[in-house]
Structure 1
Amino acid sequence: MDALASLLDGPRARNAFLIRALLDPPWCLRVQSRSPLCVVAMVRGDAWVRHDGGEPVHLDPGDIMVTCGPDPYTVADDLATPPHVIIHPGEKCMTPDGRSLTEELTLGVRSWGTNPDGKVLMLVGSYQMQGEVSRRLLTVLPRLLTVPAGTLDTPLVPLLNAELVKNEPGQEAVLDRLLDLLLIAVLRAWLARPDAGSPGWYTAHTDPVVGPALRMIHNNPAHPWTVASLAAGSGVSRAALARRFTDLVGEPPMKFLTGWRLALAADLLREPDATLGSVARKVGYGSAFALSAAFKREHGVSPQRHREGVELPVLV
């Protein structure tokens, strides 16, 4: 399992919010939904996007944008256009004075906007939950990233566009998986850019010394790893692995292992049938008590409070 696969293996879209937005100018959407992550593909037309206090970004046809929440932002045909629609948590759409627009802007199956033949067509997919594993990547991503048209050689956008208007058995699962695939393709393309500022643990996967150690940790976090066993698997001495691992990843092997295990635990704890004991075994802790103590020490909240929906502090 490579870095991106292991990163996205835990959290997956579950009943994600997915629509086709069809609009005619002038239009302006104020997004205050606090979604942890949103993917927008410009199928036709163009748009301006700007976070509060940030620089505006222009989207052309074929561009794909990823926004990382929870900060609000504006999407519009023109930077001078005032907001017509405010999108609140739960993807509730209202006018600036609080009138609901949900029924008024519905254009059909997963289609929304002002005109079914609108000059602008955007595919919008919002993740509704924040998996802890994803936070290792999301904390190093900018609030807004774009992948220009032509960068991705993929049929996913037209396929998603076609599937969004269908109401067939299992359609929600199909759309969730398509959104996941599109996100992976976008992140892979973006992380491959030399100016992406990828996290050390991601780029270190290509290193001949640190890469094998990272793959061992990602593939089997429950194993009782030591620096010695990781070094043996990498074919180097303990001192050599510890030094190079810290240089490339930014933290020693055992500290990284602990963080990865607790990140996995946080994600697994959100599963409805998971118990603290079963999660502890999956991530390499001998008992529920040991996991609980480590989890609270790392995140400042207990596993139970996390399961109840308390947000964890942002990783740095």
Structure 2
Amino acid sequence: MLSDVIAVMRTGQPRSARVEWQAPWAQRFAPVPGSAGFQMILQGPCWLIPPDTDPVSLATGDVVFLPHGRGHALADSPSTPLVAPACDPNDGRFLQRYATATVGEPVGTGGPTAVTLCGAYQLDRARTHPLLDDLPGLIHLPAHLGRQPELRATVALLAAELQRPRLGTDAIVPALLDTLLLYILRAWFDEQATSGVATGWAAALNDPAITAALRSMHRDPAWPWTVATLASEAGLSRAPFARRFTTLIGEPPLSYLTWWRMTIAARLLRESDAPLSAVAHQVGYRSEFAFASAFKRRYGVAPGRYRCAGPPRATTARVGWSAR
């Protein structure tokens, strides 16, 4: 299911760059609305300096994820003055230029070297999943021996591709970045589950009954689901299922289903040339008129106008949705 969530939100290609810093150095990363960013420490140590909390010491292998494009800074020391160099690795133009390469000369004046892997995912805020909204502004995943081996392996592969681009790197890097984002989210949700204080989506994704219902909706959004059939998928009776779903997700099951269908439809309209009737059918509407009415209630415009207002689209006959 996490892969579906990422697929509907992300727009364009994710970007990343490997940057070498030589002390003294300090880099301010401005807020970037409509994006999710990350910092990974390939060689350290260094310091994360959030705008409103105390500095955090980072070590080799640490991962920092900023799901809401929050501003922050990195530095060799909390006492190093922060500057905003001409090339900001959180800027889309910077990441486009250095999408598959190590940034040229090390930044700094020759002191101890730190190496970071920075990057950003551009998100369509109109299709932001509540799962992402539920995340804190900053997630720090410290490196622990034996913890999250898949995440560490993906970081190592990505760093190797960026340090020494070869045939196929342009295709490998975006795939690794998508994999990386999924592993970051999985690691955070796993930590919330083991902490015993998970709430909202973190609790929902660790509830087998609610997860089963969500997977069913994501696997086949066009199916004529009812609260009763979703409760059956969850292995619960109707009323207890509806209460549990609403408590954890924040809205009733069929409200979430409608939202998910409209989110899928919005992506299909922007990224495919499928006829409106085909889009309506793929999200569970037998009538194009009923689909258009539901879509306009959600987005404020008719499906045809929404499609015309979007960026250039790739011709795609169908978008598949998998429950993973």
Q: TM-score range by the shorter chain?
A: 0.7 to 0.9
Per-residue deviation, 1:119: 0.5
Alignment of 1:31-180 (within 5 A): 31-32=29-30, 34=32, 36-80=35-79, 81-85=81-85, 87=88, 89-92=91-94, 110-112=101-103, 114-115=105-106, 119-130=113-124, 135-150=129-144, 151-154=147-150, 155-180=153-178
Tell me the distance in 2 between the aligned counterparts of 1:292 and 1:47: 52
Provide the aligned C-alpha RMSD in A: 3.4
Residues 301 and 26 of structure 1, relative CA distance in 2, 3 Å threshold: farther
8 A contact 2:100–2:170 mirrored in 1: no
Per-residue deviation, 1:73: 2.6
Amino acid at match of 1:17: R
Per-residue deviation, 1:208: 5.0
Instruction: Return 287-296 or 211-220, whichever deviates more.
Output: 287-296
In structure 2, the partner of 1:98 is none
Per-residue deviation, 1:225: 0.8
Q: CA deviation digits over 1:46-73, x for unaligned, max 9? A: 3333343344333221101111234433
Amino acid at match of 2:83: P
Tell me the distance in 2 between the aligned counterparts of 1:115 and 1:251: 50
Alignment of 1:196-275 (within 5 A): 200-275=200-275
8 A contact 1:42–1:122 mirrored in 2: yes
Amino acid at match of 1:218: H
TM-score (norm 1): 0.79
Per-residue deviation, 1:220: 0.7
SS in 2 for 1:269: helix
Per-residue deviation, 1:305: 4.3
Pairing partner for 1:30 from 25, 28, 31: 28
Per-residue deviation, 1:289: 4.0
Residues 18 and 109 of structure 1, relative CA distance in 2, 3 Å threshold: closer
Amino acid at match of 1:152: Q
Per-residue deviation, 1:171: 1.9
For structure 2, the residue ranges without an aligned partner over 5 or more in a row are 312-324
Instruction: Return 56-65 or 226-235, whichever deviates more.
Output: 226-235
SS in 1 for 2:270: coil
Per-residue deviation, 1:184: 1.2
Tell me the distance in 2 between the aligned counterparts of 1:145 and 1:241: 31
Per-residue deviation, 1:74: 2.2
- What is the number of equivalent residue pairs in this alignment? 297
Per-residue deviation, 1:182: 1.5
Per-residue deviation, 1:301: 5.3
SS in 1 for 2:191: coil
1:16 aligns with 2:7: no
8 A contact 1:152–1:186 mirrored in 2: no
Tell me the distance in 1 between the aligned counterparts of 2:296 and 2:40: 39
Identity %: 36
TM-score (norm 2): 0.77
Residues 266 and 165 of structure 1, relative CA distance in 2, 3 Å threshold: same
Per-residue deviation, 1:202: 5.0
For structure 1, the residue ranges without an aligned partner over 5 or more in a row are 94-101, 311-316
More helix by share: 2
Tell me the distance in 1 between the aligned counterparts of 2:249 and 2:231: 15
